[in-house]
């Protein structure tokens, strides 16, 4: 059999190496665990798993509509926001088309584009941040999608509301702008983009969010997107009938109600960030100020070796060679004891 030509350069996704007993600070998960209300709802939903799930995720979309103050028809729910990235590519990208993103960013934008035989164009980051000008320069009449990660994974940096607004006003109306806000729940900058204002203004905008981060439901695989109804209806054409399982839908609905857990997660991140900034400065390590639940740190050496060393001592972090950042690592901000252990082990490993 011959693999399709567009897939020849691709390799299957390799999950990160995990070590039993080591604490996992490599995937930006919620170190508080899942919301207790979500666990309860998911457990109760197990009694219904002989019935196919609601393929339209009606109740979850209604809860999201209440939460965000837009119509339930403005949402699509996916098996993680990863799935939605692929559905978008299926809807809009074909051979001879291109999509644009940045050089050091989330890998699924490239995956989705190549899967549908498109060309992926990558603009360099500027000081670890998505560079609107560099992206605009790469647009041509075959550009169908722009994948824009804000805050950016793995750097944690962000582009402000004003800059994003001005960028969006220079993008052709037939290019879909995918604003991936997987980590926006953690942002605390005053000028962080207000997605609702932008959505009212730009019909070619779609915003991605996930329950995998602040809601602590990564294994449930629930992500969603918000856009004008016309865009959602186009993307819905590419969706499998039963893409989101019932325990996941119920867990997500319950998690939306658990404002105590949400606020606790935000507070943990705020405190952890303060502590880690202080400690990284003490260690003389450069890092990017973050709007997310992770920090990107310059370790001034091959980060893959450092990763092995730290894992041997009980902490798994993410070395960033696959993002083109060989001397950088990304660490999840955790609870107080996680952060203390991280710093102790980082300090020890840097001395080796």
Task: Please give the radius of gyration of the chain, using alpha carbons only, rounded to the nearest integer.
Answer: 20
Helix H or strand E encompassing 270: helix 259-282
CB atoms within 10 A of CB 274: 12
Binding piece for ligand PLP, criterion CB under 6 A, among 80-88, 135-143, 189-197, 309-317: 80-88
17/279 Cα distance (integer angstroms): 26
Q: Report the Cα 133 to chain-centroid distance in Å.
A: 22
Contacting residue, 26, 28, 35, 157, with ligand PLP by CB under 6 A: 28
Closest CB 250 distance from ligand PLP, rounded Å: 17
Site residue total, ligand PLP (CB under 6 A): 13
Verify binding: residue 80, ligand PLP, rule CB under 6 A. yes
Q: Which is nearer to ligand PLP, 22 or 85 (CB)?
A: 85
Q: Which is nearer to ligand PLP, 35 or 153 (CB)?
A: 153
Verify binding: residue 118, ligand PLP, rule CB under 6 A. no
Site string for ligand PLP, 239-268 (x = CB under 6 A): ------------------------------
SS3 140: coil
Burial of 327 (0-12, 13-18, 19+ CB in 10 A): middle
Contacting residue, 97, 131, 180, 338, with ligand PLP by CB under 6 A: 180
Closest CB 81 distance from ligand PLP, rounded Å: 4
Residue in 269, 211, 210, 225 with CA at minimum distance from that of residue 42:
211
Binding piece for ligand PLP, criterion CB under 6 A, among 35-43, 60-68, 78-86, 185-193: 78-86
Cβ-closest position to ligand PLP:
80
Residue in 185, 195, 149 with CA at minimum distance from that of residue 292:
185
Verify binding: residue 30, ligand PLP, rule CB under 6 A. no
Contacting residue, 102, 182, 205, 295, with ligand PLP by CB under 6 A: 182
183/29 Cα distance (integer angstroms): 11
What's the farthest any 2 CA atoms get from each other in the chain? 57
Verify binding: residue 303, ligand PLP, rule CB under 6 A. no
Closest CB 82 distance from ligand PLP, rounded Å: 3
Closest CB 181 distance from ligand PLP, rounded Å: 8
Own/partner contacts of 52-59, CB < 8 Å, gap of 24 or more, are: 52/241, 52/242, 53/242, 53/244, 53/245, 53/246, 53/249, 54/246, 54/249, 55/239, 55/241, 55/242, 55/243, 55/244, 57/244, 57/249, 59/249, 59/253
User: Would you list the DSSP string of 57-89?
Assistant: -HHHHHHHHHHHTS-GGGEEEEEHHHHHHHHHH
Site string for ligand PLP, 31-70 (x = CB under 6 A): ----------------------------------------
Contacting residue, 63, 212, 269, 303, with ligand PLP by CB under 6 A: 212
Verify binding: residue 153, ligand PLP, rule CB under 6 A. yes
Per 3-state DSSP, what percentage of the chain is helix, strand, and coil (rounded to 5)?
A: 45, 15, 40
Residue in 225, 246, 247, 245 with CA at minimum distance from that of residue 236:
225
Closest CB 137 distance from ligand PLP, rounded Å: 23
Contacting residue, 26, 30, 35, 81, with ligand PLP by CB under 6 A: 81
Q: Which is nearer to ligand PLP, 53 or 80 (CB)?
A: 80
Contacting residue, 65, 134, 136, 218, with ligand PLP by CB under 6 A: 218
The footprint of ligand PLP (CB under 6 A) covers 28, 80-82, 106, 149, 153, 180, 182, 210, 212, 218, 223
């Amino acid at each position: 059999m011959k693999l399709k030509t567009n897939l020849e350069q691709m390799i299957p996704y390799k999950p990160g190496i995990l070590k039993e007993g080591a604490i996992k600070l490599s995937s930006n998960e919620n170190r508080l665990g899942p919301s207790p209300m979500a666990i309860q709802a998911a457990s109760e939903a197990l009694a219904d798993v002989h019935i196919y799930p609601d393929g339209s995720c009606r109740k979850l979309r209604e809860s999201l509509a209440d939460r965000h103050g837009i119509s339930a028809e403005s949402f699509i729910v996916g098996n993680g926001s990863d799935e939605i990235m692929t559905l978008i590519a299926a809807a809009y990208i074909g051979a001879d088309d291109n999509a644009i993103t940045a050089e050091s960013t989330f890998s699924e934008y490239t995956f989705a584009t190549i899967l549908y035989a498109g060309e992926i164009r990558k603009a360099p980051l500027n000081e670890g941040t998505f560079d609107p000008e560099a992206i605009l320069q790469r647009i041509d009449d075959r550009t169908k999608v722009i994948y824009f990660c804000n805050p950016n994974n793995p750097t944690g940096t962000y582009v402000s509301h004003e800059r994003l607004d001005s960028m969006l006003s220079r993008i052709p109306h037939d290019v879909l702008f995918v604003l991936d806000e997987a980590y926006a729940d953690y942002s605390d900058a005053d000028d962080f983009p207000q997605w609702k204002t932008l959505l009212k203004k730009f019909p070619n905008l779609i915003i991605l969010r996930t329950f995998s981060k602040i809601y602590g439901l990564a294994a449930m695989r629930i992500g969603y997107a918000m856009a004008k109804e016309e865009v959602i209806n186009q993307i819905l054409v590419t969706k499998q009938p039963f893409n989101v399982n019932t325990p996941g839908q119920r867990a997500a609905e319950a998690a939306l109600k658990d404002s105590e857990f949400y606020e606790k997660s935000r507070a943990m991140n705020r405190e952890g960030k303060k502590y880690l900034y202080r400690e990284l400065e003490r260690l003389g390590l450069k890092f990017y100020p973050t709007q997310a639940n992770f920090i990107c740190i310059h370790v001034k050496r091959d980060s893959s070796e450092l990763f092995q060393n730290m894992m041997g001592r009980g902490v798994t972090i993410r070395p960033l060679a696959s993002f083109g950042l060989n001397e950088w690592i990304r660490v999840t901000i955790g609870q107080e004891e996680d952060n203390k252990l991280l710093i102790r082990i980082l300090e020890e490993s840097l001395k080796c």
